[in-house]
Chain A
């Protein structure tokens, strides 16, 4: 019977509580931890696949150093640490500490991740990134409108009578939410899915609204207009708690149903149906996905979606609200995201925050005084996952020295001079938060790291000693070697939170002290006005956008007149149940389900190009090209094609070969879903 408590630290809504069983030092079984009410029923495919990941024959178990012939050679830790310390010291001496770029991804959560930046501060500084690839525009839109990113408990969704899965496909990306959707349905709830694809989640829905990518804002504004015109506005709620209703109402008047239909491709009858649903069914919850806020217009789009709930009084009540991100468990993050990843106004500790993670390749090359010469990359695989893969590769290859920490030889690790073998979640204890449910959880060490794997915190300590860091700094900032040292370090960080300690976390997930079953139940909105802000002066001031969330056509929209007409298809790059971004795809049981990258094409689009299922297709634009096998998907909106994200360059499916390094309209997100491409049958 699985007995050891742990939790999955991936960048995923669910962040499951787990119980694992270890037999003879090996992971034997994994199950959902019943103490996490949001994920109590079972782990997903990926959670179960750790059984293959931990002992994978592809796992890196020793440090690797690039040899003269361009290959990798196994090297002893001492030698590797001397080499790395020497190169860091040389760079610091020649160009200063900011010649070293510290680049992290979202590969694993945990308090111990903070040791990285502590190291670079003690080193004298570094250059690092701002922004985030994943969710900034939506976070910022929510912060500007509601004051903070918080939402009702995941299980509260069962109380909703209308659920709108807007650009979200929880059946693949947040499967545990589907249980609460089902519970709501069993009590008579209506479910609407708004998506360009007929997703797996749409199969359970009452209505699928297939929308042209990047036009969700126009749909929301049109719905707001109709809701106001038909008198569906919750007057009492709006008067008490919403700022800017009059200017908002004036602004949306121009989004007539005819115009919205022309922009979005949503038929008038569907629009009317959706208006009735939103106007007459309460409580209503909109669960918004991350994909639609990766467009150039998406901060404004997300603001206009939240406005629908504000107008109908669907905020601060059970079964109602805006389910985007719930940072109730982010108790040790100050300030919380998105503020936490904005470039700071003043430089601290020699850390230069000057690389937009979205424009990583371009910005690495553009740094001066000093230019970046060395990169340290951990918890991420930026080569296939950052926009404009070719630019990222170019920039990495222009550096003098690259260190990559990873469990596998990823596309990014293949570019390194030194690859350090990383621990898995089962090999070092840490404490993690989540962004959907409100639990603080222990990610517990249950097995010893295999081979010569060393946790990053230990590597930093050893490097700090070699680089002559002060003893006090080393002992205060870095955990002492061994499990007891790590636990003492964690306990110290948890001191500020009474009731949360390792002993309690070992029993199971613990509710955050900031937990609210119903967010904004007190109608307190931490915005400048204290109300829900449909008009945001801060948005105008900070981001230079209209204070009202007007809709603008995305940059690469296929309907723009000033666009490049050679690329008539919109490329969708969603996540699937099989991966978390570029992780998991290399495991045998996942490979059985998804052996190779494919492009999904609507059969009518495919037939127009003479493409049959199974044939090779060239997908290209002015930035790059991919050649993958075609599959038919009659559930796609014609004019859209789809390649799921996360395939590696070395697997022939890196979608960011085609994307553009462009920021979202607010919050330094990546607008890398704004992609127009062309397709043709590949020449044999």
Chain B
């Protein structure tokens, strides 16, 4: 058995999609779905830029992000073929693997509530038959890296032309994909120059357009507020009371369960403490809540317990933020004005009326917020601009004015205003999430190429 992986000859591939169709038939998938997707670079055929088709399934990477990130440990490497296997019976449907894989390989199966992906046609390879997509390619453009089956086309036959070149639309985030691309021809511009038309903007849908993650926004925001609240108490402000605190905690956990395809398997989330920030995040959030309960019900007066609870809480919000540090992400998650850590510190500082800390965190949030929006200036809609003004006024100006005029940040109105603004920022954080996909990569690369293209005479 060789090493599972595919190779694609870009010169031969015409984007016919037979590979994707063969995959659907082999795996008995719903019509129109496939573990293999064909992404077209330059679909509007901008002059002097080649049109390419990238047929991609799982690249069975040497450093698989899915395997590292999956909280349930559902991903393993097949000892025989080297393929990355997904054990659907362990998957709880959190879809985190689809964030971290830039190739769109793990896909959410709505009917079963779990992820699915290319298996490198394990049942076929066991019988000595190459994967269905490789066999189906009518122009022999798609091959295996090595003979994972007893027979079948392997890339070796392409000999010296084998090269792994950087190709538009092929994301490279350092996962060392087992995928080779060959091309000699399609890099040459072939068209007569007719006009100078250039596309404006990209038609590739952003990642968020395809799926929202609002339950996670609720969960992470509430955890940050709870940690902040406890911190405020620890640092001299009012300590949280059990009923509202636990009610909010229940709401947050409930929301996080809501976005799972299989909520009943939520317990599996702790399955990958060694590799997954999701496992660590959930473990720390649970530890924080347990510590808080111990404070409420066992030793309300224990100062060490209160301090320990705050420390665990801060670790939990840091873990939350680290969940979103993903290679190839197109927007910056750290630092971000809507980070859970900053929200927790801000709430804690305001609640404990530690002026210097509140001012420091507030200014940091302000700077990050303005800087982010400054970058996108011009592409923002009016609605976005109004939101920005509201967010800055409610979250930063209101408490500042209250403080300067001698009021207390603990005033209910001020508190509500700050929380609304923080929630808005957290929502923006989610709305901006934009993970790399071949489609997005193709759009980004096209923009670069179009900008670099010499203007025809």
Interface residues of A (CB under 8 A from B): 1, 29-32, 39, 41-45, 47-49, 51-52, 171-172, 175-176, 178-179, 182, 185, 193, 198, 200-210, 267, 270, 577, 587-589, 591-593, 602-604, 607, 613, 631-635, 637-638
Contact A635 B32 (CB under 8 A): no
Contact B50 A41 (CB under 8 A): no
Contact B51 A182 (CB under 8 A): no
**Chain A: minimal CB distance from B28 (Å):** 9
Q: Which residues of A contact B139 (CB under 8 A)?
A: 41-42, 175-176, 178-179, 182
Q: Which residues of B contact A210 (CB under 8 A)?
A: 191-192, 194
Contact A182 B192 (CB under 8 A): no
Contact A43 B18 (CB under 8 A): yes
**Chain B: minimal CB distance from A213 (Å):** 15
Q: Please list 13 pairs of residues, one from A and one from B, whose beta carbons are closer than 8 Å in the complex, sorted by A's number.
A: A31-B135, A31-B136, A32-B138, A42-B139, A175-B139, A178-B139, A201-B14, A203-B50, A203-B190, A206-B190, A210-B192, A210-B194, A602-B195
Known: A48-B25, A178-B12, A210-B194. 15 other contacts (CB 8 A): A41-B138, A41-B139, A43-B18, A45-B21, A198-B51, A203-B50, A203-B51, A203-B186, A206-B190, A577-B14, A588-B32, A603-B44, A604-B197, A633-B45, A634-B197
Partner among A48, A201, A204, A208 whose Cβ is within 8 Å of the Cβ of B21? A48
Contact A635 B191 (CB under 8 A): yes
Q: Which residue of A lies closest to B139 (CB)?
A: A179
Assess whether B17 is interfacial by the CB under 8 Å rule.
Answer: yes
Q: Which residues of A contact B50 (CB under 8 A)?
A: 203
Q: Which residue of B lies closest to A588 (CB)?
A: B31
Q: Which residues of A contact B402 (CB under 8 A)?
A: none
Contact B195 A577 (CB under 8 A): no
Interface residues of B (CB under 8 A from A): 9, 11-12, 14-18, 21-22, 24-26, 31-32, 44-47, 50-52, 129, 135-140, 185-186, 188, 190-192, 194-195, 197, 199, 203
**Chain B: minimal CB distance from A589 (Å):** 5
Contact A42 B11 (CB under 8 A): no
**Chain A: minimal CB distance from B225 (Å):** 42
Contact B11 A185 (CB under 8 A): yes
Q: Which residues of A contact B137 (CB under 8 A)?
A: 41-42
Q: Which residue of B lies closest to A606 (CB)?
A: B197
Q: Which residues of B contact A29 (CB under 8 A)?
A: 25-26
Contact A592 B47 (CB under 8 A): no
Q: Which residues of A contact B191 (CB under 8 A)?
A: 198, 202, 208, 210, 635
Assembled-state Cα–Cα distance A593/B40 (Å) = 12
Assembled-state Cα–Cα distance A201/B185 (Å) = 12
Contact A182 B12 (CB under 8 A): yes
Contact B32 A178 (CB under 8 A): no
Contact A638 B195 (CB under 8 A): yes
Partner among B14, B21, B25, B195 whose Cβ is within 8 Å of the Cβ of A178? B14
Assembled-state Cα–Cα distance A201/B26 (Å) = 28
Task: From known contacts A44-B138, A203-B190, infer whether A603 and B197 are also in contact, taking CB-CB under 8 Å.
Answer: yes
Contact A45 B16 (CB under 8 A): yes
Assembled-state Cα–Cα distance A577/B21 (Å) = 13
Contact B21 A172 (CB under 8 A): no
Assembled-state Cα–Cα distance A30/B132 (Å) = 10
Q: Which residue of A lies closest to B129 (CB)?
A: A1
Contact B197 A45 (CB under 8 A): no
Partner among B22, B186, B194, B195 whose Cβ is within 8 Å of the Cβ of A204? B186
Assembled-state Cα–Cα distance A577/B188 (Å) = 24
Contact B16 A198 (CB under 8 A): no
Assembled-state Cα–Cα distance A51/B22 (Å) = 10
| Main SS class of interface, B | loop
Contact A171 B129 (CB under 8 A): no
| Main SS class of interface, A | mixed
Partner among B24, B32, B135 whose Cβ is within 8 Å of the Cβ of A42? B135
Q: Which residue of B lies closest to A636 (CB)?
A: B45
Task: From known contacts A32-B138, A48-B22, A603-B197, infer whether A613 and B203 are also in contact, taking CB-CB under 8 Å.
Answer: yes
**Chain B: minimal CB distance from A613 (Å):** 7
**Chain A: minimal CB distance from B104 (Å):** 15
Contact B135 A634 (CB under 8 A): no
Task: From known contacts A48-B22, A49-B21, infer whether A175 and B12 are also in contact, taking CB-CB under 8 Å.
Answer: no
Contact B45 A198 (CB under 8 A): yes
Assembled-state Cα–Cα distance A307/B132 (Å) = 45
Assembled-state Cα–Cα distance A335/B45 (Å) = 45
Q: Which residue of A lies closest to B44 (CB)?
A: A632
Task: From known contacts A49-B21, A592-B32, infer whether A43 and B192 are also in contact, taking CB-CB under 8 Å.
Answer: no
Q: Which residues of A contact B44 (CB under 8 A)?
A: 603, 631-634
Task: From known contacts A604-B195, A604-B197, A632-B44, infer whether A44 and B188 are also in contact, taking CB-CB under 8 Å.
Answer: no
Contact B185 A175 (CB under 8 A): no
Q: Which residues of A contact B17 (CB under 8 A)?
A: 45, 577, 593
Q: Which residues of A contact B195 (CB under 8 A)?
A: 602-604, 634, 638
Assembled-state Cα–Cα distance A607/B195 (Å) = 13
**Chain B: minimal CB distance from A212 (Å):** 12
Contact B31 A589 (CB under 8 A): yes
Residue picked from B44, B137, B190, most chain A C-beta under 10 Å: B190
Assembled-state Cα–Cα distance A540/B190 (Å) = 40
**Chain A: minimal CB distance from B128 (Å):** 10
Assembled-state Cα–Cα distance A637/B135 (Å) = 37
Residue picked from B17, B46, B129, most chain A C-beta under 10 Å: B17
Task: From known contacts A43-B136, A175-B139, A270-B192, infer whether A204 and B25 are also in contact, taking CB-CB under 8 Å.
Answer: no
The 8 A-B residue pairs with the shortest CB-CB distance in the complex, in nearest-first order: A635-B45, A588-B31, A592-B32, A42-B138, A171-B14, A48-B21, A603-B197, A179-B139
Q: Which residues of A contact B188 (CB under 8 A)?
A: 206
Q: Which residues of A contact B129 (CB under 8 A)?
A: 1
**Chain A: minimal CB distance from B314 (Å):** 48
Q: Which residues of A contact B186 (CB under 8 A)?
A: 203-204
Q: Which residues of A contact B138 (CB under 8 A)?
A: 32, 39, 41-44, 175-176, 179
Task: From known contacts A45-B16, A176-B139, A593-B17, infer whether A185 and B197 are also in contact, taking CB-CB under 8 Å.
Answer: no
Contact A634 B45 (CB under 8 A): yes
Assembled-state Cα–Cα distance A508/B286 (Å) = 66
Q: Which residue of A lies closest to B186 (CB)?
A: A203
**Chain B: minimal CB distance from A427 (Å):** 19
Assembled-state Cα–Cα distance A301/B47 (Å) = 29
**Chain A: minimal CB distance from B26 (Å):** 7
Residue picked from A29, A47, A175, A182, most chain B C-beta under 10 Å: A182
**Chain B: minimal CB distance from A101 (Å):** 38
Contact A207 B190 (CB under 8 A): yes
Residue picked from B24, B25, B139, most chain A C-beta under 10 Å: B139
**Chain A: minimal CB distance from B143 (Å):** 11
Contact B11 A45 (CB under 8 A): no
Q: Which residues of B contact A589 (CB under 8 A)?
A: 21, 24, 31-32
Assembled-state Cα–Cα distance A44/B136 (Å) = 8
Assembled-state Cα–Cα distance A95/B434 (Å) = 72
Assembled-state Cα–Cα distance A202/B190 (Å) = 7
Q: Which residues of B contact A179 (CB under 8 A)?
A: 12, 138-140
Contact B32 A200 (CB under 8 A): no
Assembled-state Cα–Cα distance A172/B17 (Å) = 11
Residue picked from A32, A175, A589, A593, most chain B C-beta under 10 Å: A589
Assembled-state Cα–Cα distance A209/B191 (Å) = 8
Q: Which residues of B contact A634 (CB under 8 A)?
A: 44-47, 194-195, 197, 199
**Chain A: minimal CB distance from B153 (Å):** 9
Q: Which residue of A lies closest to B34 (CB)?
A: A589
